[in-house]
Amino acid sequence: MWKRLEAWAVKDAAVPQSQKQLQKIWKLSQPAVSQILQDSDIAVAVKALPRHGNDPIHYLLTGVARLALLDPC
């Protein structure tokens, strides 16, 4: 789990990502990304943002994971 969160943070820990974007970052299929985002281990580090119309759901790193992975600069 932590390696996936680190890969996300390399892209930009402060920017929300859609499942499609996470597929590219993690090099996984959409069903695999969906499963990961539902896993209780990662759910405490990721927040689903409110959906706007038909736009895809975006996810944001949150909590201690966000603090640990944000670039301090």
- Domain residues for the domain of 37 are 2-69
Rounded to the nearest integer, the mean pLDDT of the chain is 88
Which tops the pLDDT comparison, 1 or 59?
59
Look-up: residue for tokens 């759910």? 43
What is the structure's pLDDT at 28?
A: 96
Contact 7, 1 (CB under 8 A): no
Is the pLDDT score of 10 beyond 90? no
For 29-63, write each residue's pLDDT tens digit.
999 999 999 988 887 889 999 998 999 999 998 87
Number of domain units in the chain: 1
CATH number, domain with residue 14? 1.10.10.10
Q: Are 57 and 38 in contact (CB under 8 A)?
A: no
- Looking at residue 2, what is its pLDDT? 85
Helices in 1-73 by DSSP H: which ranges?
2-12, 19-26, 30-38, 40-43, 63-69
pLDDT beyond 90 at 12: no
